[in-house]
Amino acid sequence: MPDSVVRVDTLRKTYGSTIAVDGVSFDVWEGEIFGLIGPNGAGKTTTMECVEGLRKPDSGAIAVLGLDPVSDAYALQLRIGVQLQEAQLQKRITVREAVSLWAALYDKAVDGLQLLEQLGLGGKQDAWFMTLSGGQKQRLFIALALINDPEIVFLDELTTGLDPQARRAIWQLVRTIRSRGKTVFLTTHLMEEAERLCDRVAIVDRGRLIDVGPPGDLVARHCPERTVYVTTGHPSAREHLASVAGVTDVAADGHRFTVRGGHAGLVTSVIGCLAEHRIVVDDFRTEIPTLEDVFLKLTGHSIRN
């Protein structure tokens, strides 16, 4: 078991009568990408800001690299990197100036220009911040979060509003950060992002922790059902498909059959049935639950304000 670099124990934070975080507990392991996911207003950003030391919790205990984010704030700031959800810079500061300014805040900093090259911003060193695209701005903020060579990097909604190409580029950057031995703690409301990037995720809703684990484990635990769509004109197809072990329902719409079951081997079993009875298939598709299905099942389908 890797070491725990972040430990949150029964964290609680309120704003007046509003309970933002209510008894949340989890650990983040060294060298992993850990995601905190939940609907808007679930308490993700507040939890992260308490862990970073930007907010003081009302109760509970937090340890980051063995330090208290409040009482050991200065020592901790030297060892972590933070990219904030609503970060902005002066319009006419250049990329080079921003990196130099951030580097000057630390006794020890990496080569900022080399970092910009690694993040694909080498050709933008003299560009004003206001001229950068959304993806370039996010890469710059990641560069600023990495300038002190931190042990843990905190990324809050880092790809919100980016186009698919920029989002994929940022994902690759996050994987690169982890490959350098860093721990990444991120928040996101994009389920595809969490499923593709994170080694483990914690689902929070209305300030409470619902479940935590690897995305695949959460899917298997909460949404075990598999669906197979088979199109065939075979007269006995429905009868044969209904006899497959683990099948719970077979629905027919003309020659299109929807087969549902609750075990991971359903697809293999259906294929075996089709082969055994020499059923000619015109179309065959599968539907496997995703982290988004888990998210909707655990937090509900209604729109949150």
pLDDT, tens digit, 9 for 90 and up, residues 206-237: 999 999 999 999 998 999 889 999 999 999 99
How confident is the model over 13-24, as pLDDT tens digits? 999 999 999 999
- Enter the tokens of residue 249: 């329902």
What is the percent of the chain where pLDDT is above 90?
70
Question: Is the domain of 207 the same as that of 241?
Answer: no
CATH of the domain at 175: 3.40.50.300
Question: Is the domain of 214 the same as that of 265?
Answer: no
Question: Is the domain of 210 the same as that of 254?
Answer: no
Res 267: pLDDT: 92
Res 304: pLDDT: 53
| Top-confidence residue, 127 or 165 | 127
Class of residue 57 by CB neighbours under 10 A (exposed 0-12, middle 13-18, buried 19+): buried
Residue 301 has pLDDT above 70, yes or no: no
Residue 248 has pLDDT above 60, yes or no: yes
CATH of the domain at 244: 3.30.70.100
Question: Is the domain of 25 the same as that of 68?
Answer: yes
The answer to whether position 128 is within a domain reads: no
The answer to whether position 303 is within a domain reads: no
Question: Is the domain of 161 the same as that of 60?
Answer: yes
Domain end marker among 220, 249, 265: 220
Domain end marker among 220, 236, 262: 220
How confident is the model over 125-149, as pLDDT tens digits? 999 999 998 888 988 998 899 999 9
Question: Is the domain of 214 the same as that of 236?
Answer: no
Average pLDDT (98-126) is 90
Containing domain of residue 237, as a range?
Answer: 224-288
Question: Is the domain of 236 the same as that of 204?
Answer: no
Residue 305 has pLDDT above 70, yes or no: no
CB neighbours of 86 closer than 8 A, spacing ≥ 6? none
At 302, the pLDDT band (50, 70, 90 cuts) reads: low
Res 189: pLDDT: 85
The answer to whether position 254 is within a domain reads: yes
Residue 265 has pLDDT above 90, yes or no: no
The answer to whether position 106 is within a domain reads: no
Residue 269 has pLDDT above 60, yes or no: yes
The answer to whether position 186 is within a domain reads: yes
Question: Is the domain of 50 the same as that of 177?
Answer: yes
Compute the mean pLDDT over every residue in the chain, rounded to the nearest whole number: 91
Question: Is the domain of 167 the same as that of 266?
Answer: no
Question: Is the domain of 284 the same as that of 187?
Answer: no
At 264, the pLDDT band (50, 70, 90 cuts) reads: confident
Domain end marker among 220, 251, 280: 220
Res 3: pLDDT: 85
- Between the CA atoms of 42, 43, 48 and 51, what dihedral angle is there, to the nearest 10 degrees? -140
- What is the DSSP track for 90-107? -TT-BHHHHHHHHHTTSS
Residues 89-101: b if buried by 16+ CB within 10 A, e if exposed: beeeebbbbbbee
What is the percent of the chain where pLDDT is above 70?
97
The answer to whether position 107 is within a domain reads: no
Question: Is the domain of 274 the same as that of 160?
Answer: no
The answer to whether position 126 is within a domain reads: no
The answer to whether position 265 is within a domain reads: yes
The count of structural domains within the chain is: 2
- Enter the tokens of residue 230: 């088979």
Question: Is the domain of 241 the same as that of 189?
Answer: no
